[in-house]
Each structure stands twice: as structure tokens, then as C-alpha cells.
Amino acid sequence: MLYDNPEALLICAFKHDVAMCDPDPGTTAPRQYDCRPGCANTVRTDGHALLLRERADELDELADRLPPPLARRLQTNAARLRATADAHDSTAQTAEALS
């Protein structure tokens, strides 16, 4: 079962035994509010990667107007989002290749 999580910019291909969101025993759905980087259930589309980059750009623009300590934190988050998008791009497979 696939679960779209637009807030986390990903799709969860939920498998209870590898879920990092710590679902209750016997649960058949993820805790979508608790998505974690590195979870094996994470699936992203090219559209998600694009949205990650757009969000990173927004954070950088906001950082330009904030004091240095806050700006650095936002810039770090923006870099993390871009790295996630880059990782998607470097490992992405077409639907045809997966079938």
C-alpha cells in the first residue's frame, strides 16, 4: 500500500517491519506525521525532487533576511533538502525499469 505524504514530500511504500515511524504492532499504515529521513519505505518522484529544491530556495530567500544564527540553520536545512533531491536524481529509475 502506498501513502502519499505531501508534507514530507514523499510517498511511503509502507512495510511495517522496516518503518522508522515506529508504528504500533499490527498497524497497517505509517505514522505520516513521523516520517524520518533514511526510512526504507520512502519513495520519491521527480516531482518530489523538484519540490524539495523549491522549498530549499524558499529557505535560502528567508535566510537572507534573518540574523546569522537563524540564517545558518535555514541554509543547513536547504542544503539537506537539495542533497535529498540530488540523491533521488542519482538513483531514480523509470517505471519501466522497475517492472
Residue 71 above 80 pLDDT?
yes
Each domain of the chain, given as residue ranges in start order, spans 1-43, 45-91
**CB within 8 Å of 49: residues ≥ 6 apart:** 84, 85, 88, 89, 92
Tens digit of pLDDT for each residue in 10-62? 999 999 999 999 999 999 999 989 999 889 999 999 999 999 999 999 999 99
pTM of the model: 0.86
CB 81 within 8 A of CB 55: yes
